[in-house]
Amino acid sequence: MKKEINTKNFTYNWFILSIFIILTIILLQGYIEYKRSVENAIVKTSNLTILLTKKLENDFEQMDNILNFAQDIILTLPKENKLFLDGNDKIKKQIVSQKFNALVKNFKDISVINFIDKNGNIIYSSNPLNYNINISDRAHFQIFIDNKYLVKSFSNVIVSRTTGKNSLAQLLAVRDENKELIGILTALIDMDTINDTLSSININKGGVALLRSSQNTELLARYPLLDESDINKPLPSNNPIALKIKAGEKSGSLEYIASTDNQKRVGSFIVMDKYPFYVQVALSQEDYLAKW
């Protein structure tokens, strides 16, 4: 009788142990598959982030080059072009406008090139100037007044007073040998153009691609854009990606809960070397854990 009881106990204990072992294997396998899904998502977002970063950096570099050409035009015309020297304001504007337009045609993503004098008046433009436009109240103009050593800068997202569209302005100061401001050149790129670049990659349902300032984390462009009021808003100070960038990290990947829509995602980011932006691509948890 005692032997029979011990056998039953042994069988029962072995059954419980077997169940425990099976559950442990299942959980371990599930954890391994989960980690593999996250790692695959990191590889994908990292590659997509590199792709977008290179494309946008190349665009900004081309705009840099075009602004340098525009600066040569502004500085050499008064010295070398007799028609410009002898012409009235209307003729001068026509001459510069033609030359600016030739530059714009070299890079289709630029919507307009403007030259602004030190008082904030747009005096030359690749677009027709049908009325006087002054931008002295704009922060991206004032920054050059406040810092005489500043040469290059960017605006946040603005509504252009020459095109009426949401734009990002890339700016170059034209200064004399004493660093005194002669004027500022601006090349405007429509935000629709940047959004087209962000939307050109496959991020599946729930994924996001975005461009933010690396200096203050203000949102410049996001695909898809959930709320237009998010544009030019910075991230919360405790945002994990904001903390990494503040700590000096130039790139990284992580799982996080988005502050904009509270969705859990895996994302990668890259801070640009030459320009004050970072690119981020993220996939939704629903997407990268679909097979898991």
Nearest to 45 by CA among 211, 199, 253, 205: 253
Q: What is the mean pLDDT of the chain?
A: 89
Separation between Cα atoms, residue 195 and residue 193, nearest integer Å = 5
Cα distances from 159 to residues 134, 142, 257, in angstroms, run 14, 17, 31
Q: Residue 33's CB: how many other CB atoms inside 10 A?
A: 13
**Any idea what the Cα angle at residue 163 is, between residues 161 and 167, rounded to 5°?**
85
**Left (φ > 0), alpha (ψ -120 to 50) or beta: where does 290 sit?**
alpha
Tally of residues, the chain: 292
Q: Which residue type occupies 248?
A: G
**Any idea what the Cα angle at residue 46 is, between residues 45 and 49, rounded to 5°?**
80
Per-residue pLDDT tens digits for 134-189: 999 999 999 999 998 999 999 999 999 999 999 999 999 999 888 899 999 999 99
Distance, C-alpha 279 to centroid of its chain: 5
Confidence of residue 4 (pLDDT cuts 50, 70, 90): low
Of the candidate ranges 4-13, 117-126, 202-211, 273-282, the one whose mean pLDDT is the lowest: 4-13
Cβ 139 vs Cβ 210: under 8 Å: no
Residues in Cβ contact with 77 at an 8 Å cutoff, skipping those fewer than 6 apart: 84, 95, 96, 99
- What integer pLDDT is reported at residue 5 of this predicted model? 52
Nearest to 231 by CA among 155, 177, 178, 122: 155
Q: Is pLDDT at 2 greater than 60 in this prediction? A: no
Q: Enter the pTM of the model.
A: 0.85
Of the candidate ranges 22-26, 55-59, 268-272, the one whose mean pLDDT is the lowest: 22-26
Give the pLDDT mean for 47-56: 97
Separation between Cα atoms, residue 45 and residue 266, nearest integer Å = 8
Per-residue pLDDT tens digits for 227-255: 899 999 999 989 999 999 999 999 999 98
Q: Which residue type occupies 140?
A: H
